[in-house]
Amino acid sequence: MDERRSVVDVVRRWEDSGGVWRVVGRRRGELTVALCTCTAGEEVDRVVSAEPALIDFIAGRDSSEPDDA
């Protein structure tokens, strides 16, 4: 991951490009988010961050997939 971009920018760009993200860990204000393919849901990368903007962006959701998926 490019350290010059914020983590929320990385996750948002992933989602905007059609990828899926999933929260795979929550711990003391820190999130671990898996970046997955849109087709098979395979994990491609993972980000770990306590960046407040990421926590706000995730807003308690577990993934970028619709609830009825």
Cα angle 45-53-60, degrees, rounded to a multiple of 5: 75
3 state SS of 28:
coil
Q: Which two tokens stand for residue 45?
A: 């990368």
In this prediction, residue 1 carries a pLDDT of 47
pLDDT tens digits for 32-51? 999 999 888 899 999 999 99
In this prediction, residue 68 carries a pLDDT of 47
pTM (2 d.p.): 0.85
pLDDT tens digits for 1-29? 445 679 999 999 999 999 999 999 999 88
